Amino acid sequence: MALLQNHIAVVTGAGSGIGQAIASGYAREGAKVVLLDVNAQAAAEAAREISQSGGKAESFALDVTSREDCVAVAKQVADKVGHVSILVNNAGIARRNGMLGALETVIEDWEDIIAINLTGVFNVTHAFLGALRAAKGRIVNIGSIQSFVHVRTPSSPAYTASKHGVLGFTKALAAELGKDGVRVNAIGPGFIETPLNEKVRASDPSLVKIFLDHTPLGRAGKPEDIVGPALFLASDLSGYVTGSIVMADGGYRTI
Ligand code: NAP
């Protein structure tokens, strides 16, 4: 039997990159997938591709920073699609300004990044919590190597703080929801080639080299590299795993 047969999986930020790959991978393993993204068109297109390949997919527009919209979409999903048993909190942004830039920029980065990468995870989780508890579901949060360390390439303190927060939230939820049979884990991707870092890859190959020199596997990751860990954490293969983070970083954190 396929790994996720009879599951309904919600993936945020599923119109692009890692989220899109996870949604497709889950659909290939039998899940009905619900793609949510602030970019409604991208989510709809990704859902169409999944359907055309024989999978089951629906899409809805969702900005994870709006708590009200999260609640409304959770209701729509319950009414139109069914009982959600898997949630992947993937939507996120990155910016590369340090703390010492123009004050407005530093503040704007902090507010946007924390609102999407951390409060967004809270908002969506809260909205789907009832369904996930009823289903003894699984939550997979997308962290980063920056859930543990900052990086030598330019990156904002807000991004590192947000991804540390995602790991902390993962542990807190795992501790609280374990008795309900809900498992909560994270994935820590390394440098993955997606639209998130398209500009920097094109404009500054030296930054990519800094990452790759620090990566034992010696290559950047592809969105598909995150699908295996995401399947593992959402499926019964990880039945006794909760509160953990699976690093998919080419070994970055080992050196
Ligand atoms: P991506 O290709 O830019 O995809 C992120 C998706 O999330 C985009 O469709 C984006 O829409 C959407 N999004 C942005 N703000 C949103 C909001 N407020 N509500 C709902 N959706 C929103 O990025 P990615 O590289 O796949 O990143 C996915 C996750 O992996 C993020 O949490 C990121 O921090 C994490 N991650 C990535 C890497 C990497 O190297 N790529 C490494 C570690 C962790 P728009 O395009 O319209 O903004």
Domain boundaries, the chain: 8-249
Q: Is 155 in the pocket of ligand 1 (CB under 6 A)?
A: no
Q: Quote the Cα angle for 24-29-33, to 5°.
A: 50
pLDDT tens readout for residues 155-200? 999 999 999 999 999 999 999 999 999 999 999 999 999 999 999 9
Task: Select from 66, 70, 196 the residue to mutate for testing ligand 1; criterion: most ligand atoms less than 8 Å from CB.
Answer: 196
| Whether 250 contacts 211, CB under 8 Å | no
Q: What is the mean pLDDT of residues 213-220?
A: 97
Q: Is 89 in the pocket of ligand 1 (CB under 6 A)?
A: no
**Confidence grade of residue 121 (pLDDT, cut at 50, 70, 90):** very high
Indicate the burial class of 125 (C-beta count within 10 angstroms; 0-12, 13-18, 19 or more). buried
Cα–Cα distance, 139 to 121 (Å, whole number): 10
What's the CATH architecture for 8-249?
3-Layer(aba) Sandwich (3.40)
Global pTM reads 0.99
